[in-house]
Amino acid sequence: MRNIKQIKNLKGKRVLLRVDFNVPIKNGKVEDDFRIKASFPTINFLIKKGAFVTLITHLGKDGTESLEPVIKHFFAISKIKKNKVSFFDNVRKFSGEEENNLSFAKELATKGDIYVNDAFSASHREHASIVTLPKYLPSYAGLQLEAEVKSLSRAFDKPKHPFLFILGGAKFSTKIPLIKKYLELADCVFVGGALLGDFLRVKGYEIGKSLVDENNYNISEILNNKKLILPTDVVVRSGEKLINKKIDQIEKNETILDIGKESIKNLAQIIKKSKLILWNGPLGKYEDGGAKATKEILKLVANSKAESILGGGDTVAMISKMKMEKKFSFVSTGGGATLEFLVNGTLPGIKALD
């Protein structure tokens, strides 16, 4: 992958920089700007070398959202002068973007001399500004994209051992390939979050009202793997109460909220011995009062000697809220893109830069 440091002459050049400023907005304000800040090294590098930068981003699913709050926030925190950087409209407003339309990509290409992709977290999408625009202009990787590839590759390219993979969140079906791959590469795969309910259900436990993926997946191979570690206790919501229980004591009217005290202790022991920790997805239903274990484990990982690589939209939002971004070896800006990269070792947007 060529990166922006290899561009010979940037003076006076118009750079089309694909970023991913798809950030949460509440009451017209940016709630979390981790992704925005992650693009600053690339933008500052390009400006310093004399380029004019046009930022291209999507916001939201269907292109109807205005970029105004993002633009306002960007100029307020970056201190970048308005005559150096401009914003293209929310790129999903144009149907050609998601349709990956050639003429839309060609039209975009007329607006610049060079294309740079610094949108790792959107690089799993085969959209025009990600995979086709680079066909029409000299193309390079931005510094964040490069850092993501380098850091996340450490999980599958000669990883350090003992290697602990912590996996939480939901969407069981999308995580099966990931679990299978890391049961081979890692020494322990610890499963929490909504995924835990899926595992317990398949194992024949009562999981009460916990949300599960109703499909039947053939995962007996995974369940019998000795490297797979499931929590031994959980915190459930039972009416108004939160109760710590063994996994075989969950009742019909209860919902699993978080992993329990004993499981946190067990995981803490594994963390202590690990040299590499890869973590994706919260361990509990954090939006519903189940954030405790994730917070405790985040602190333990931050204070451990292990190299730590973390990712996933919800986990990163918690890290950002706790102001712990700098406490880990690497925090990925990606959600779906990170998962896909960890499974496939590349993404459509990365391949397009070859």
Give me the residues that bind ligand 3PG (CB under 6 A), please: 20, 22, 61, 121-122, 125, 335-336
In 3D space, the residue among 177, 149, 188 whose CA is nearest the CA of residue 276 turns out to be 188
Of 119 and 236, nearer to ligand 3PG (C-beta) is 119
Helix residue ranges, H only, the chain: 34-38, 40-48, 68-78, 95-98, 102-109, 133-136, 143-153, 172-185, 193-202, 220-223, 261-273, 292-303, 313-321, 336-344, 348-351
233 three-class SS: strand
Of 88 and 199, nearer to ligand 3PG (C-beta) is 88
Nearest distance in Å: CB 217, ligand 3PG: 23
In whole angstroms, what is the distance from residue 152 CA to residue 297 CA? 20
Nearest distance in Å: CB 240, ligand 3PG: 35
Nearest distance in Å: CB 335, ligand 3PG: 4
Nearest distance in Å: CB 88, ligand 3PG: 16
Question: Between vectors from CA 216 to CA 215 and to CA 220, what angle results, nearest 5°?
Answer: 145
Of 20 and 118, nearer to ligand 3PG (C-beta) is 20
Which are the contacts of 71, defined by CB distance < 8 A and separation ≥ 6? 87
Residue with CB nearest ligand 3PG?
A: 22
Q: CA separation (Å) from 75 to 37, 66, 174, 294?
A: 11, 16, 37, 33
In whole angstroms, what is the distance from residue 166 CA to residue 51 CA? 42
Nearest distance in Å: CB 272, ligand 3PG: 32
Of 98 and 187, nearer to ligand 3PG (C-beta) is 98
Q: What phi-psi label fits residue 208: left (phi over 0), alpha (psi between -120 and 50 degrees) or beta?
A: left
Of 16 and 276, nearer to ligand 3PG (C-beta) is 16
In 3D space, the residue among 171, 166, 184, 176 whose CA is nearest the CA of residue 263 turns out to be 166
Nearest distance in Å: CB 22, ligand 3PG: 3
Of 134 and 335, nearer to ligand 3PG (C-beta) is 335
Of 112 and 311, nearer to ligand 3PG (C-beta) is 311
Nearest distance in Å: CB 336, ligand 3PG: 5
